[in-house]
Amino acid sequence: MIPVMLQTIRLSAFLLLFGGHILIAQLKPDSKEHLYGLELQAYPAGFIIALSHERFVFPNTSWLFRVGANSIDRRDFSTENDRENGWGVGASVGYRKYVALKRNTLVFGLHTDMWNLWIDWENGPTSNRPTAGTSFVLVLQPWVEAGYIFIPTSSRSRIGLSLGFGRELNVVTNGRDVEQDWIGSLIFRYQFSL
């Protein structure tokens, strides 16, 4: 288990660093607007808490970077096991486009998350021979979002609510297979600029 986890962590770090350098190289040097924030992303089988940094390359276009924790409780949603729950850590890279309204704004985004998850699974919990274990999974999760951002008058902060839709893809699994599927989510965010 240790060699697979080490390979997965190395792959995750390489992809995030490589992708981050490519994105940063494309940024306009005179772009100074940055947003920092906290996001709560709820989905039917869990929730994500993330810290975010958004850097604008144009007045209505930005790159988003997130790091966070993912808590999972799939109850009986899984087609692989009777019960699955766990947790993990991960990061995201995303692209956002804003459409200004009178005072507030609409937001549309494309994102890719990468999660290192530890999933505890159980089968036949009420039978004479239940089985249980833990699987380590590297999940790649591309997703899209559409939402509304409320910008209070004379404030350097903003509050947003978005809907997300994407796909969980188990790229590396060490242990028994666990669920991967389409996923919908509701994202609440608080952002501020310095």
- pLDDT tens profile 30-48: 446 889 999 999 999 999 9
Q: How confident is the model at residue 30, as a pLDDT?
A: 46
Is 11 within the bounds of a domain?
Answer: yes
Lowest-pLDDT range, 8-17, 93-102, 103-112?
Answer: 8-17
Domain count for the chain: 1
Average pLDDT for residues 146-151, to the nearest whole number?
94
Q: How confident is the model at residue 155, as a pLDDT?
A: 78
- Containing domain of residue 128, as a range? 2-27+54-192
Per-residue CA distances from 14 to 20, 65, 81, 83, 137 (Å): 10, 15, 32, 32, 17
Is 47 within the bounds of a domain?
Answer: no
Q: How confident is the model at residue 28, as a pLDDT?
A: 47
d(CA 177, CA 139): 12
Per-residue CA distances from 161 to 66, 106, 134, 177, 187 (Å): 16, 10, 34, 33, 6
Is 46 within the bounds of a domain?
Answer: no
d(CA 15, CA 11): 6
Is 87 within the bounds of a domain?
Answer: yes
Is 38 within the bounds of a domain?
Answer: no
Residue 129 DSSP class: S
Tell me the one-letter amino acid at 117.
Answer: L
Is 35 within the bounds of a domain?
Answer: no
Is 48 within the bounds of a domain?
Answer: no
In the predicted structure, residue 55 carries a pLDDT above the cut 80 = yes
Is 123 within the bounds of a domain?
Answer: yes
d(CA 61, CA 31): 11
Burial of 168: CB neighbours in 10 Å, binned 0-12, 13-18, 19+: buried
Tell me the one-letter amino acid at 163.
Answer: L
